[in-house]
């Protein structure tokens, strides 16, 4: 069931790639929920399936990838009224990936900012043309009006001299400015949900801080919900209201940001937190790397995928039986045998 206050609920999503070498279970039982007007962070090591989960929501998983199970329940505003109060639930996994409904939703209601803006911006068109294209694709406005809106969006994302930059080509702008353009494109249709996949990874730390500020401010002004994908727990602490922790295609824990940082339940989340420096840490303890390596995606271990690296592994259980995803407190769920018995 989707709660009224959620904009998106992903249930046991499975997206596999059928390659010649075998099946890559990129997303293999991911469940998480995004609340309206809130920021959900998705964190996890490289290759754990964060980007493929995002591609699944937008139905842009490239072949040989396919969604093979689960649901992506989107609360779609009725009558195109973006911030209205009436919604219908649409399971995005059931839509045709090139059909009219997902094309309306993608870019218009759910939009995305990628890691490397140069690959998503077209080098032969001006940034203004590209923002205007996004606006006219989903809204009935003429070119003059679209251009004014494009300039206004550039102004809102902090672009200097927007009346002039609107006619620049992507290569004339710095990496940070290009990412601002991407954010302008993504927000130009006032989406209900923005998916940002490592949008600041290619930027220096000062520019990263500016972009994070900008996204947080626009998010609060416009009331857009955001899925913010990153491997950086510092960014999670700064940006997010809720956090989903992924490991090998599964969400192993979801909770609000304070519970994740101060009361993490899953041994993987606990290990992840011990592996980063924290300001105010009193003891002079060494940082602990997580022992072992992320297993080969073609050979994910049986049972709980984290057991070979887990300090609390219970023989004959964790290496045999996959744990269920269970609530341990309101708004806090964990996929680990240690919490099998707990009830709210």
Point out which residues bind Mg ion (CB under 5 A): 51
CA distance 4 to 225: 14
Q: Is residue 43 at the binding interface for ligand ATP, with CB under 6 A as the rule? A: no
* Structure token digits, residue 185: 């494109």
H helix intervals, the chain: 50-58, 100-105, 117-120, 127-138, 143-156, 162-165, 175-187, 205-222, 233-239, 257-262, 267-274
The residue (of 20 and 142) whose beta carbon lies closer to ligand ATP is 20
- Stretch 293-312 residues interacting with ligand ATP (CB under 6 A): 297
Least gap, CB of 13 to ligand ATP (angstroms): 12
Binding mask 229-268 for ligand ATP (x = CB under 6 A): --x-------------------------------------
- Stretch 60-119 residues interacting with ligand ATP (CB under 6 A): 62, 65
260: Cβ–Cβ under 8 A, 6 or more apart, which residues? 236, 243, 245, 253, 269
Least gap, CB of 38 to ligand ATP (angstroms): 22
Contact in structure between 209 and 216 (CB atoms under 8 Å): no
- Which residues pair with residue 91 across a beta bridge? 73
62 binds, among Mg ion, ligand ATP, none (CB under 5 to 8 A by kind): ligand ATP
CA distance 236 to 220: 16
> Which listed range, 46-54, 135-143, 209-217, 276-284, lies at the site for ligand ATP (CB under 6 A)?
46-54
Q: Is 247 helix (H, G, I), strand (E, B) or coil?
A: strand
Q: Is residue 47 at the binding interface for ligand ATP, with CB under 6 A as the rule? A: yes
19 binds, among Mg ion, ligand ATP, none (CB under 5 to 8 A by kind): ligand ATP
- Stretch 11-40 residues interacting with ligand ATP (CB under 6 A): 17, 19, 24, 26
* Structure token digits, residue 119: 């690959």
- Which residues pair with residue 225 across a beta bridge? 193
């Amino acid at each position: 069931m989707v709660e009224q206050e959620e904009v998106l609920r992903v249930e046991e999503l499975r997206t596999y790639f059928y390659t010649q070498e075998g099946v890559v279970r990129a997303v293999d039982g991911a469940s998480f929920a995004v609340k309206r007007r809130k920021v959900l962070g998705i964190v996890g090591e490289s290759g754990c399936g964060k980007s493929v989960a995002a591609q699944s929501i937008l139905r842009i998983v490239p072949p040989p990838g396919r969604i093979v199970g689960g649901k992506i329940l989107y609360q779609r505003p009725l009558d195109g009224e973006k911030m209205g109060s009436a919604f219908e639930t649409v399971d995005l996994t059931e839509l045709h990936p090139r059909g009219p409904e997902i094309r309306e939703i993608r870019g218009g209601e759910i939009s995305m900012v990628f890691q490397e803006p140069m690959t998503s911006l077209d080098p032969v068109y001006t940034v203004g043309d590209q923002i205007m294209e996004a606006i006219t694709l989903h809204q009935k406005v003429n070119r003059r009006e679209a251009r004014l809106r494009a300039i206004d969006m550039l102004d809102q994302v902090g672009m200097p001299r927007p009346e002039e930059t609107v006619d620049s080509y992507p290569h004339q702008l710095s990496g940070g400015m290009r990412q601002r353009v991407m954010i302008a494109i993504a927000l130009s249709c006032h989406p209900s949900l923005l998916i940002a996949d490592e949008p600041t990874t290619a930027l220096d730390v000062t520019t990263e801080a500016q972009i994070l500020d900008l996204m947080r401010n626009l998010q609060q002004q416009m009331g857009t919900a955001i899925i913010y994908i990153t491997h950086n727990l510092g960014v999670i602490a700064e940006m997010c209201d809720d956090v989903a922790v992924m490991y090998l295609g599964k969400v192993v824990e979801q909770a609000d940001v304070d519970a994740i940082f101060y009361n993490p339940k899953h041994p993987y989340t606990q290990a992840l937190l011990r592996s980063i420096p924290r300001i105010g840490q009193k003891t002079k303890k060494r940082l602990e790397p997580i022992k072992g390596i992320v297993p080969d995606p073609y050979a994910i271990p049986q049972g709980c995928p984290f057991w070979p690296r887990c300090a609390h592994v219970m023989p004959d259980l964790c290496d045999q039986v996959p744990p269920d995803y269970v609530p341990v407190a309101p708004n806090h769920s964990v996929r680990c045998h240690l919490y099998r018995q707990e009830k709210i």
